[in-house]
Chains A and B, each alone.
Chain A
Amino acid sequence: QQQVKQSPQSLIVQKGGISIINCAYENTAFDYFPWYQQFPGKGPALLIAIRPDVSEKKEGRFTISFNKSAKQFSLHIMDSQPGDSATYFCAASKKAGTALIFGKGTTLSVSS
């Protein structure tokens, strides 16, 4: 049972374009939704996170859009750069102090 479904598995975007990664969840008890960025050989790094009481959160070129009724959330990377090439994971947790449930990851490649 996959509690957090992430798509696409891989994504190729031109430099300057918009990268969009989608996630869907089933458990309505989830109330924290972070995105992590992982480079090869490194641990995941927290990128941006959102709670279900807001529909959008923006930090620099990164935006999370959240649709509570559809149980979906997405990461948008504006003006994508080659340095953004990495694997991105969405995740969810029920409350503070509980484990993160991760999506399978999306490998993003930004071509110059």
Chain B
Amino acid sequence: GAGVSQSPSNKVTEKGKDVELRCDPISGHTALYWYRQSLGQGLEFLIYFQGNSAPDKSGLPSDRFSAERTGGSVSTLTIQRTQQEDSAVYLCASSLGITYNEQFFGPGTRLTVL
């Protein structure tokens, strides 16, 4: 596809379960970002991958959150032992690379923790 894709589009889980959210960036984009959008908090940065460099994890809210990027393309955000406050829309964005500012967002995954 031409744009950033994310799956699933919606995820409902029970408190304490682990979830995995997937992001496919735009082909050729080496930079990948995860953000979280929640009511009252707006859009918050979570983690950033650039090529093979160590990721910038400075936005991860707790050690229950982790992410990986395999082969420099697809990324998976994992939330362990989910809590109700994790309920939000998780957005992925990609960019051409380290010298490019423009970030292009996917449609997001809406996570609901019951």
Contacts and interface: CB of A to CB of B under 8 A. Distances in A.
Interface in A86-107: 89, 91, 93, 95-105
Contacts of B107: 41-43
A99 B101 CA distance: 9
Secondary structure class of chain A's binding surface, majority of residues? loop
Interface residues of B, number: 27
Interface residues of A, number: 24
Given A43-B107, A99-B33, A89 B43 contact: yes
Contact of A34 (B35, B42, B44, B102): B102
A36 B99 CA distance: 20
A48 B111 CA distance: 29
A45 B95 CA distance: 13
Interface of B: 4, 31, 33, 35, 42-45, 48, 50, 56, 59, 91, 93, 95, 97-108
17 contacts: A34-B101, A34-B103, A44-B43, A46-B103, A46-B104, A49-B102, A95-B101, A96-B98, A97-B48, A97-B95, A97-B97, A97-B98, A97-B99, A100-B33, A100-B103, A102-B44, A105-B42
Interface of A: 32, 34, 36, 41-46, 49, 89, 91, 93, 95-105
